[in-house]
Amino acid sequence: MRGAVIHAPGDVRFETVADAKILKPTDAVIRTAVTCVCGSDLWPYRGAEPTDEAHPMGHEYVGFVEEVGSEVTNVEPGQFVVGSFATSDNACANCRNGFQSNCLNVEFMSTCQAEYVRIPHAQGTLVATDGVPGEELWPGLLAVSDVLGTGWWAAEAAQVAPGSTAVIVGDGAVGLCGVIAAKEFGAERIIAMSRHESRQQLALEFGATDIVTERGEDGAERIKEMTGGVGADSVLECVGTAQAMRQALRSTRPGGSVGFVGVPHEVAVDGQELFFSHVGLRGGPAPVRRYLPDLIDRVLTGRIDPGKVFDLTLPLERVAEGYQAMDERRAIKTLLKP
């Protein structure tokens, strides 16, 4: 089969890779319906994470079950399934506590930009839909497997509540899905921080009430001005840089919360500043599996449409173009069709 392989920063190729196959009785193999490029894939693409040797890429997927291991009984060949970027047995203590992305047997997906994908811990990871959804719904369901679930977790971690003010730092796909989540959680005021007109428009369509173009210290000061000098109740940090974290913490009111879901790169939190701010800080890899049934239903019923974050669609074989477009900010998120 063929799939995307990164060889070095800026060098992603579509080439022959090892066939996806059942290696353990808890595995399944799916035929990819659609996959995509994630903002976090840009870290190695830009050289911010090392690429010591060539390796496959991709962690977002929906598809059709091709084969299951002997211990997998909840899905069967032919079914359309949605999973998470973090596989889980959905049975250990951490899973039962709702943190499947910290499963005692967790494996993070990394081979999904391919024609077929092996899914470890398929019994606990995959959720089948009732029948095969129309293709127009596939992008939204694909968003559920990562960016929507991650934006949802950011809102939960930031304790977004009905009637509250929420700020979203980051206008990538996760941040835009964070806008969706904040609205679904009942926030009355949703402030999206963005400098890009197309992303601003999508944020407003998803439910943002205000747009702030300033960033860093200027951004935090602008939020304070908009909230009577106090700060926001909840701030969703969806970037992963030191500047974004400082901006998030300093935009939050005393007693408010920051949910951080951007994979941290060179982020350090000042303990003294955090201590005296009375700001709560919580984040980590999103427990997407916990949300799957609910989010799948919201997409299938048309309540939300996170698939709109995909503004570029390419054949899977042109995956390198998808990376380049996102790197150059010509695309929010690239959808790939095998």
Q: pLDDT (tens digit, 9 = 90+) per residue, 206-228? A: 999 999 999 999 999 999 999 99
Full-model pTM: 0.97
The CATH homologous superfamily for domain 150-283 is NAD(P)-binding Rossmann-like Domain (3.40.50.720)
Neighbours of 282 (CB within 10 A): 15
DSSP letter for each residue of 4-27? EEEEETTEEEEEE-PPP---STT-
CA distances from 217 to 38, 168, 281, 288 (A): 27, 15, 19, 32
Q: Which two tokens stand for residue 250?
A: 């300093």
Residues of the chain with CATH 3.90.180.10: 2-146+287-337
Of 9, 36, 29, 32, the closest CA to residue 318 belongs to: 36
Smallest CA-to-CA distance from 38 within 336, 338, 337, 295 is with 336
The pLDDT score that the predictor gives to residue 198 is 95
61-68 vs 80-82, strand pairing mode? antiparallel
Amino acid at 15: E
Whether the CB-CB separation of 334 and 310 falls below 8 Å is answered with yes
The span from the first CA to the last CA of the chain, in angstroms, equals 11
CA distance 208 to 297: 23
Which of 37, 103, 6, 56 has the alpha carbon at shortest distance from 314? 37
* Location of each CATH 3.40.50.720 domain in the chain: 150-283
- Res 57: pLDDT: 98
How far is Cα 321 from Cα 285, in angstroms, rounded to an integer? 27
Given a cut of 70, the residues of the chain with pLDDT beneath it are none
Beta-carbon neighbour count of residue 9 at 10 Å? 15
Residue % of the chain over a pLDDT of 90: 100
Give tens-digit pLDDT for 160-179: 999 999 999 999 999 999 99
How many Cβ atoms sit within 10 Å of the Cβ of residue 46? 12
CA-closest candidate to residue 285, choices 179, 152, 186, 173: 152
pLDDT at 24: 98
Which residues does 326 contact at the CB level (< 8 Å), separation at least 6? Answer: 37, 39, 42, 312, 332, 333, 334
Give the pLDDT of residue 208: 98
- The CATH superfamily label for domain 2-146+287-337 reads Medium-chain alcohol dehydrogenases, catalytic domain (3.90.180.10)
